Amino acid sequence: MGGIPQIFLLSAGAALIAVVGFFVVSRVFKPIDLEEHQQFLDAMLNIVGTLVSILLGLLVAAALDRYQAVEDSVDSEAASVAQIFRLTVGLPDKTRDRLRDLCSEYGTGVVNDEWPKMEEGETSKEVFFTYVKLVTTVSNFQPSNDGESNLHQALISAIQEVGDCRRKRMLALHSTWTRQLMPMLITCSIIVLAFAYLYVRRGAVLHAVLICFVAIALGGNLGLVFVLSNPFAGDWKILPVSFQFNNKLLEEFKTDPRLMKYLLPHRVRAKKLAEDEDDDNDVATKAKTSGSAKGATNDAPNKKDKKDAEEDE
């Protein structure tokens, strides 16, 4: 597209077609008698224009709602993956490490592999296999106490949310309602322009300009429906911002010691915090001892000077 937004190109294309049609109609067809047919044309144009405007308005609103729903679903999917990563704190070491690796692998695969393929209408089998591994790991986990049982229930809810959101994303990718409705929308737009041509007189430049404006409005609405109905391609494509944020956050947890200790199991984290507290106490004790020794050293010369003064007297 050369950097030009699609909707502008669609509007410009509609205007160009309308202007060409205007000159063709004005030169080829004989103008009708407006004095005889004015009232009938006005009534018909009002009916057709109202129906087309209502249809386009409803479709644009529906397309916008679907677009926002898909965007929210992507955010919920990423949030659920992050929730699984957080809930692994209280799990056994083997299961915890396995789930964390799968969460990182899933997020990286969605951003680097699946999202570029979705622009072409395809999905990633590798990311799907990673999702299957997540489901299998969570489902096969056997809790050994009440705490792990509660975490298991939360993990099941989170993995179900990931699956539901992923399914909505796939359905939106393969949706065909735009291709089914677009021929009807184009036909309605052509009918509106045809009615507008009936009012044209030879050499009426003002009429050509007004028809161009009508075509731009129709083309803009058709462009909105088309762009919003393709949420993973084009100028208004949804970006995996939530997954990118997840990946960045997970990397920080793996590399930052201050964050890493909060993802350790409870018993290890408590021991680590106790060790850090002991280290802080040791530093404070050493600082206090050093201060006392320094004070004693400073007092020694003062006592010696006082003794010398007494001997002089």
* DSSP 8-class letter at 31: P
Q: Please name the amino acid found at residue 157.
A: S
**Cβ-based neighbours of 166, under 8 Å, separated by 6 or more:** 77, 131
Instruction: Report in angstroms the alpha-carbon separations of 92 from 118, 151, 265, 266.
Output: 36, 11, 8, 11
Q: Which two tokens stand for residue 145?
A: 């106490």
Q: Are 155 and 84 in contact (CB under 8 A)?
A: yes
Residue 155, H or E segment: helix 146-173
How many angstroms separate the CA atoms of 44 and 23, rounded? 23
Looking at residue 262, its pLDDT comes to: 59
* Token output for 118: 């979705």
- pTM of the prediction? 0.72
**Beta-carbon neighbour count of residue 233 at 10 Å?**
15
The pLDDT, as a whole number, for residue 273 is: 47
Cα Rg, the chain, nearest whole Å = 36
Average pLDDT across each block of 10 residues of the chain; the chain has 313 residues. List them in order: 66 85 76 68 81 86 90 94 89 89 93 92 92 93 89 93 93 82 84 76 71 86 85 86 89 71 53 52 55 52 51 50
Domain ranges of the chain: 6-264, 265-313
Amino acid 268: pLDDT: 47
Of 67, 253, 244, 85, residue with least CA distance to 162: 85
Closest Cα partner for 178 from 60, 258, 296? 60
Nearest CA to 127 out of 110, 115, 147, 112 is that of 110
Residue 297 token pair: 């050293």
| 205: helix, strand or coil | helix
Q: Which residues contact 67 (CB under 8 A, 6 or more apart)?
A: 228, 229, 231, 236, 238
Measuring CA to CA, which residue among 212, 234, 153 is closest to residue 16? 212
Cα gap 103→81, rounded to integer Å: 6
- DSSP H or E run through 15: helix 6-28
